[in-house]
Amino acid sequence: MAGRDGAVLEAVVVTHDSAEVLPACLAALAAAAVPVIVVDNASRDGCANVAEREGARVLRNRLNEGYGRANNRGVRETAARFVLIVNPDLVLAPGAADELLRAAERYPDAGLLAPRIVEPDGRFFFQARSLLSPYLPNPRGRLDPPSGDCCAPFLSGACLMVPRDLFLALGGFDERIFLFYEDDDLCRRVADEGLALVHVHAAVARHARGRSSAPARGRLFRSRWHQAWSRAYASRKYGLPEPGLAVIVVNLAKAAAAALTGRRRLVERYLGSAAGAWAWRRGRSALAREGLE
């Protein structure tokens, strides 16, 4: 599957303080003979050096460019027909890459394909609806996990296989989003092209959810800030209701209640959500917050 000679599949892994989980991710890709480009978002834990020792080609960003922008840089550097976008805390099971490629041949109308992502508790991740999905609507969020291949309303950016030319023709991930909802947005644009989003059940990947970056002070607040901002951004982009002042007030009330009971992580979480929604209403961009404008 070597991508440098124009072969079939190449992987892109975006890292940020991911040194603990990255070796297992890269070892699984090496076992599948999938070459890897690691785009390191200014890690402070020697992550880029770890990637080089594991045999990956490494692109180093001076700043944390965010998930979408870093992936776009990596995909532009690939040369294969298909690109596999992989989180550093995800490990492909043996045969998963081959199953995805076989599925691409079976389903020529597929624009995105994703494996069955198994969570740490043994369940597999399948999102039964998406904020941005007018196709395959599931307004009540009924969850009936599939037992085989199926079309889906959403495929997680934790692991996606996409034709390189299609990804680049669509402009890749929306670079105005720093984190969160960039995969929802890509799924929507692929579907708007009349292409399918395909869950490939026989391709299995294990996902250590939430471990792609090491814990750090203020990271939860920052994460929730971006989640709230990105949801508002995506909502406006597709003409959906944007969060009103009620969202901010509710989160502030939750933060106050959590503070009274001494639950510091919940305080950080709710304050982050309120701050992200407030920043959106004030017209502040996610990129400006991260020093990227």
Q: Report DSSP letters for 125-173, one per residue.
A: E-----TT--SS--TT------SS-EE-S---TTEEEEEHHHHHHTTSS
How far apart are alpha carbons 85 and 291 in whole angstroms? 25
Q: What is the pLDDT of residue 127?
A: 84
Q: What share of the chain is helix, strand, coil (3-state, %, to 5)?
A: 40, 20, 40
* Of 235 and 208, the one with more pLDDT: 235
Q: What's the token pair of residue 206?
A: 């294990």
What percentage of the chain has pLDDT greater than the value 90? 83
pLDDT for 31-68, tens place per residue?
999 999 999 999 999 999 999 999 999 999 999 999 99
Q: What is the pLDDT of residue 243?
A: 84
Q: Are 159 and 84 in contact (CB under 8 A)?
A: yes
- Statement: residue 257 has pLDDT above 70: yes
- Statement: residue 221 has pLDDT above 90: yes
Task: Give the model's confidence band at 129: pLDDT under 50 very low, under 70 low, under 90 confident, else very high.
Answer: confident
Q: List all residues 6 or more positions away from 79 whose beta carbon is below 8 Å from its beta carbon.
A: 3, 4, 5, 6, 10
Q: List all residues 6 or more positions away from 130 whose beta carbon is below 8 Å from its beta carbon.
A: 153, 154, 184, 187, 188
- Statement: residue 2 has pLDDT above 60: no
Task: Give the model's confidence band at 151: pLDDT under 50 very low, under 70 low, under 90 confident, else very high.
Answer: very high
Spatial CA neighbour of 3 closest among 122, 87, 84 = 84
- Statement: residue 141 has pLDDT above 80: no
- Statement: residue 80 has pLDDT above 80: yes
Task: Give the model's confidence band at 214: pLDDT under 50 very low, under 70 low, under 90 confident, else very high.
Answer: low
Task: Give the model's confidence band at 218: pLDDT under 50 very low, under 70 low, under 90 confident, else very high.
Answer: confident
Q: What is the pLDDT of residue 210?
A: 62
What percentage of the chain has pLDDT greater than the value 70? 95
Q: What is the pLDDT of residue 6?
A: 62
Q: What is the pLDDT of residue 208?
A: 87
State the helix-helix crossing angle for 245-260 and 264-281, rounded to 10 degrees: 160
Report, as an integer, the average pLDDT of 147-165: 96
- Statement: residue 143 has pLDDT above 60: yes
Report, as an integer, the average pLDDT of 158-174: 98
- Statement: residue 25 has pLDDT above 60: yes
Beta bridge partners of 241: none
State the DSSP code for 119: -
Lowest mean pLDDT among 4-8, 79-83, 153-157: 4-8
Q: What's the token pair of residue 104?
A: 């691409």
- Statement: residue 204 has pLDDT above 80: yes
